[in-house]
């Protein structure tokens, strides 16, 4: 069993914000593989099905980003998830918009959802798919992260989400190393 967690904040107020790009990717993966996200449990909403040939639970924690660890720990314990089978999708301000990076473990890089998951699980050896949202040229970081995408970004968002979904499918179906080779530091907005 694989556990795919998309990070974000629940509620209409946060829908469509940069911080919720993890939710968006997980929802698109679920949609692609016809996994219904209607079950309530693990302090989140989730669905179970097959994705890229793997039995997969897709989870959207409803605890708010900074407390994601409680939801992830609950699902990991209940489902018997081992470290390499946990994949967390989240926003990253240190990557430019349109860039993704896959990382098997490491620090939290200032991402509070990842920080909380590491703290609650007591380990950091899980797979992360970081999706670049860029840093603001000026203004406050929090309002940038919790803000909505610019008009330009919104027009490019479908391409970014599709590329991130492809990366998740590669992780699930081919493994982390294969996915890292194919997607790390790739600009999803550049056409081949």
Encode 65-104: b = buried (16+ Cβ within 10 Å), e = exposed.
bebbbbbbbbbbeebebeeebbbbbbbbbebebbbbbbbb
Q: What is the pTM of this model?
A: 0.97
Q: What 3-state class would DSSP assign to 181? A: helix
Residues lower than pLDDT 50 in the chain: none
Provide the pLDDT for residue 137. 84
Task: For 82-98, write each residue's pLDDT tens digit.
Answer: 878 999 999 999 999 99
Task: Say how far apart CA 176 and CA 168 lie, in whole Å.
Answer: 9
Residues 6+ apart with CB under 8 A from 111: 90, 91, 92
- Predicted local confidence at residue 64, as pLDDT: 94
pLDDT on residue 84: 86
pLDDT for 1 equals 96
pLDDT at 191: 66
- What does CATH list as the number for 2-187? 3.40.50.1470
- Whether 90 is catalytic is no
d(CA 177, CA 184): 10
Phi, psi angles (nearest 5°) of residue 187: -85, 110
Which residues face 44 on adjacent strands? Answer: 41, 61
């Amino acid at each position: 069993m694989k556990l795919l967690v998309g990070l974000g904040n629940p509620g209409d107020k946060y829908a469509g914000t940069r911080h919720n790009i993890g939710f968006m990717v997980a929802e698109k993966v679920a949609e692609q593989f016809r996994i219904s996200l209607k079950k309530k449990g693990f302090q989140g909403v989730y669905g179970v099905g097959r994705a890229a040939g793997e039995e997969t639970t897709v989870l959207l924690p409803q605890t708010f980003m900074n407390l994601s660890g409680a939801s992830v720990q609950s699902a990991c314990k209940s489902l018997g998830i081992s470290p390499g089978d946990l994949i967390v999708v989240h926003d990253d301000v240190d990557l430019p918009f349109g860039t993704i990076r896959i990382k098997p473990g490491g620090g939290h890089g200032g991402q509070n959802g990842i920080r909380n998951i590491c703290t609650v699980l007591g380990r950091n050896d899980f797979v992360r798919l970081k999706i670049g949202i860029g840093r603001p040229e000026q203004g406050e970081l929090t309002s940038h992260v919790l803000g909505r995408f610019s008009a330009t970004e919104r027009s490019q968002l479908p391409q970014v989400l599709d590329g991130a979904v492809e990366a998740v499918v590669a992780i699930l179906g081919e493994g982390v190393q294969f996915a890292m080779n194919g997607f790390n530091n790739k600009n999803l907005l550049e056409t081949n």
